[in-house]
Structure 1
Amino acid sequence: MGSVGRNRINTPCAACKLLRRRCTEDCTFLPYFPHSKAHDFAAVHRIFGASNVCKMLQEIPAHDRGDAAISIVYEAKARLKDPVYGCVALIASLQSQVFQLQSELNTALSEAMAIRAQQSLSLLMSSEGFLSAADMPKTDLDYHQPMQRDCTTQTPTSFAMPFFPQVIDSVQAITEVPPLPLPESWY
């Protein structure tokens, strides 16, 4: 008797080898679990079972099955390492690292903006003749000390109100930082 359309292949896929059955050309597991990935299928079979994985793969459109098989293998290996949380533990750990790094980035950006604002204010005031750059405080510790400057050269009219909006506008223009774009994988 001849075969009816199911031809055997020379090397069975990892699933058929583990399950000790004949592997045919139309085997569901063959494209995703070749002979070289026996350990991957062993983990998948141990966690999900071969029939359940076969049903999952058959319900998914053909063009998405490769990605689904990779995800199933990843989840199975994660479940073997951490039976309770699986890959969720790794995701939670990575999310906490992202939040921590975002916090550090926000802190660094705010410090950079404060330094830029102090430098631009210092430059603007020194160009207008109010203070020299040497008279500006260098660190936060210097703010409690009185500033050393010659007050007799400045008139009260030099501190007029129209000057402050110019300072604020120039500081805002210099210190504006565009928002960071989110990676496309987060959408």
Structure 2
Amino acid sequence: MSSAMAWTWTIAALVMLAYLLRQWVWKISKKKKKLPPGPRGFPFFGNLHMLGELPHRDLHQLAQKHGPVMYLRLGLVPAIVVSSPQAAEQFLKAHDLVFASRPTLEAAKHVSYEQRNLSFAPYGSYWRNIRKMCTLELLSNHKINSFKSMRKEELGLLIKFVQEAAGDCVAVDLSAKVSSLSAGI
């Protein structure tokens, strides 16, 4: 009977020690992060269940409850939501380099050669060089003006098509035509 009693006390002590260790680790990890306030979420879903058909309204209600800067977990992805212009301005001025880069995505690695293009490359010297090259070589006034005649011709074709359709009293899907104009240019 005494050995069973000793085992019971040993197991109880181990359970208590494990509980205290978990509380200590949780308290240390909570102090390191210093996250803004936010609603508690579920383990895998996070706060996704709080966003319904109109997420902008749900986020507004959460911001009224938790403040203009709040912490949400969208699934397993942590997110800081800033809902006031003043807080966003202060946030981005103070921490602009932290938010200049984009998250690494597996799909982007495969589609864009290990994220080596302008839209998916992480912020750094490589991205700045690509941006400078695009600005100087693709988006300069000289390059844009060199395609002026082509833009004029495509626009003329669209206007001619619309005039002919108006003369024949035919309905025209302008959204599709403007889309094809953009693709043609």
Q: Please classify the TM superposition score into its range, dividing by the shorter chain length.
A: under 0.3
Normalised to the residue count of structure 2, the TM-score between the two structures is: 0.24
Q: Please state which structure has a larger fraction of its residues in strand.
A: 2
Q: Which has the higher relative contact order, 1 or 2, with Cα contacts under 8 A spaced 6 or more apart?
A: 1
Instruction: Kindly name which structure, 1 or 2, has the bigger radius of gyration based on alpha carbons.
Output: 1
Normalised to the residue count of structure 1, the TM-score between the two structures is: 0.23
